[in-house]
């Protein structure tokens, strides 16, 4: 059978910005027959995520991420429908997902590597299983529960950077659902800031490309910051950390401003910001959602319930 697939054509270099030419769309073939335990799936959705920048390097800089190989098919989170099955638990028409889904139109996969999906849990919006009800939503929910120390009634203020992104937009809403009394987002356009406040229920949002972020934070978080959901790192994070309270918490989710640079993860803080962090006893621990997969099932059900109840808005 002839298929189309996307392969890694070249590497951008450790400090390079990726370009379209780093990838190549090509025709390939797969077997016409499915072996015992396998299924043939048609790809419906692929998730393209910031962590994949690290996989474009020969060394990902991480022990849990494997690099993509040159001229080999790229892979990541994906969803598809079973077209033919020789696996006892999967039938034709089932929707399935995997963290290592190949970027190709049709694939033959080991049935044991796939997870069956129930579309009714997300009101039929299958793609949500790669977002709000998938690894993105899990990262937001488990990050807040495991590293945020949010307590209902504690009058906590949460700040979210990269707040209009897939994870950030969920994190702000979940922070509110878990008990934060004030949620402030940081994003890069007036339109994004408007969506955060008008649709997602944030109390306020800062356009970091306009005006002084630190000054706006002081105005919008008069009692300081208790929880910081950090997606970006760099100067924005330095501005937030400088206004965090004693014994507050940073949820270290991502450092997207640093992904095209050859720096360790998490990147070290500037000396003056590190001093503030230590003096105020601010926690800043690396967070990896894959370490909490024992809580995956219950957490996905919680996310799906919030989606069904309209408490978690998804774009």
Q: Which two tokens stand for residue 71?
A: 């001229």
Residues of the chain with CATH 3.90.180.10: 2-117
Query: What integer pLDDT is reported at residue 255 of this predicted model?
Result: 76
What does each C-alpha distance from 33 to 1, 4, 36, 109, 269 come to in angstroms?
9, 18, 10, 12, 54
Which pLDDT score is estimated for 60?
A: 86
Beta pairing, strands 95-102 & 115-116: antiparallel
Sheet holding 75-85, edge to edge: 106-110, 38-46, 75-85, 95-102, 115-116
Calculate the CA 238 to chain-centre distance: 21
From-to residues of CATH 3.40.50.720 in the chain: 135-308
Q: Which fold has domain 2-117?
A: Quinone Oxidoreductase; Chain A, domain 1 (3.90.180)
Bond from prior residue into 266 cis (ω within 30 degrees of 0): yes
Q: What is the pLDDT of residues 149-158, one digit of tens each?
A: 999 999 999 9
C-alpha 310/C-alpha 162 separation (Å) is 22
| pLDDT of amino acid 62 | 79
Residue tagged 């962090």 (tokens): 277
What is the 3-state secondary structure of the chain? CEEEEEEECCCCCCCCCCCHHHEEEEEEECCCCCCCCEEEEEEEEECCCCCHHHHCCCCCCCCCCCCCCECCECEEEEEEEEEEECCCCCCCCCEEEEEEEECECEEEEEHHHCEECCHHHHCCCHHHHHCCCCHHHHHHHHHHHHHHCCCCCCCCEEEEECCCCHHHHHHHHHHHHHCCCEEEEEECCHHHHHHHHHCCCCCEEEECCCCCHHHHHHHHCCCCEEEEEECCCHHHHHHHHCCEEEEEEEEECCCHHHCCCCCCCCCCCCHHHHHHHHHCCCEEEECCHHHHHHHHHHHHHHHHHHHHCCCCCCC
> Residue 259: what pLDDT?
59
Give pLDDT < 70 ranges for the chain: 256-265
pLDDT of residue 183: 98
Predicted confidence at residue 203, as pLDDT, reads: 98
Residue 261: its pLDDT value, please? Answer: 61
pLDDT at residue number 209: 96
- Give residue 166's pLDDT: 92
Q: pTM to 2 decimals?
A: 0.87
Q: Which residues contact 38 (CB under 8 A, 6 or more apart)?
A: 86, 87, 108, 109, 110, 111
Predicted confidence at residue 126, as pLDDT, reads 97
The domain 135-308: what is its CATH number?
3.40.50.720
pLDDT tens for each residue of 209-233: 998 999 999 999 999 999 999 999 9
pLDDT of residue 239: 97
Residues sharing a CB contact under 8 Å with residue 235, sequence separation 6 or more, in sequence order:
213, 257
Q: What is the pLDDT of residue 257?
A: 60
Q: Name every residue whose Cβ is closer than 8 Å to that of residue 9 and which is 6 or more positions away in sequence.
A: 21, 22, 23, 24, 70, 71
pLDDT given for residue 268 in this prediction: 84
């Amino acid at each position: 059978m002839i298929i189309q697939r996307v392969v890694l054509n070249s590497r951008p270099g450790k400090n390079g910005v990726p370009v379209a030419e780093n990838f190549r769309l090509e025709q390939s073939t797969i077997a016409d027959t499915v072996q015992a335990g396998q299924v043939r799936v048609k790809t419906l959705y692929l998730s393209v995520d910031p962590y994949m920048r690290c996989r474009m390097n020969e060394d990902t800089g991480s022990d849990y991420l494997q690099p993509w190989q040159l001229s080999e098919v790229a892979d990541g989170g994906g969803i598809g429908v079973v077209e033919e099955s020789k696996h006892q638990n999967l039938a034709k028409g089932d929707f399935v997902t995997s963290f290592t889904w190949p970027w190709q139109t049709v694939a033959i996969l080991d049935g044991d590597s796939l997870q069956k999906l129930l579309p009714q849990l997300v009101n039929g919006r299958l793609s949500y299983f790669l977002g709000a009800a998938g690894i993105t939503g899990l990262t937001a929910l488990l990050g807040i529960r495991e590293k945020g120390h949010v307590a209902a009634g504690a009058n906590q203020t949460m700040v979210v950077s990269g707040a209009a992104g897939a994870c950030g937009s969920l994190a702000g809403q979940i922070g509110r659902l878990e008990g934060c009394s004030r949620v402030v987002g940081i994003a890069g356009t007036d339109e994004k800031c408007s969506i955060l406040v008008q649709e997602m229920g944030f109390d306020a949002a800062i356009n970091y490309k306009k005006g002084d972020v630190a000054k706006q934070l002081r105005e919008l978080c008069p009692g300081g910051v208790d929880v910081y959901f950090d997606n970006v790192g760099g100067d924005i994070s330095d501005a937030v950390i400088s206004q965090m309270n004693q014994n507050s918490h940073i949820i270290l989710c991502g450092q997207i401003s640093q992904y095209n640079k050859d720096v360790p993860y998490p990147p070290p803080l500037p000396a003056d910001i590190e001093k503030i962090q230590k003096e105020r006893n601010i926690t800043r621990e690396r967070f990896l959602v894959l370490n909490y997969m024992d809580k995956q099932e219950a957490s996905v059900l919680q996310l799906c319930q919030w989606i069904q109840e309209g408490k978690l808005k998804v774009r």
